[in-house]
Amino acid sequence: MADHITETLIRNLLPAHKKALEQLQALDTYIAVLNKRMVGNYLDGNYGYGHHLNKRSSFAMRIRHDFKRYEEKKWRQVLEAARQVYDEDSMAELESRQRNHGRDTTVDQTASQLSFLFSECYRYN
């Protein structure tokens, strides 16, 4: 009985995890588009709209961070539920497939790129 409940739990958690991954991909695309438009506006001298796009991008990155935490939480829950159902060999294989859930450096990379862009824009103005 407990195995059936755990299997049902896994079946419910996996779609939530998959949907979170889809949202992360959509947010990555949205952030890339915003950053590209922002750079274009700054290079064209439209600093006000470029700053507006920068704020939108920053907000989208915060939402992305929250989805990333949610996705990691769901994956941990899937692994915990799977431990209750599957034997040790199967779990070793599942855990070996687990992605690196280390520190997300997307924001750091974007910040360094934007810092360089801002310094270049202001140098020539």
- In the chain, where are the structural domains located? 2-123
pLDDT at 9: 80
Cα 113 to Cα 125: distance, rounded to the nearest angstrom: 19
Tell me: the pLDDT tens digits for 11-56? Answer: 888 889 999 999 999 999 999 999 999 999 999 999 999 999 999 9
Q: What is the pLDDT of residues 54-111, one digit of tens each?
A: 999 999 999 999 999 999 999 998 888 877 777 655 666 666 656 545 555 555 555 5
Stated pTM of the model: 0.65
**Residue 125's pLDDT band (boundaries 50, 70, 90)?**
very low
3-class DSSP state of 105 = coil
Specify the higher pLDDT residue, 61 or 123.
Answer: 61
Among candidate residues 105, 101, 104, 111, the one with its CA nearest the CA of residue 57: 111
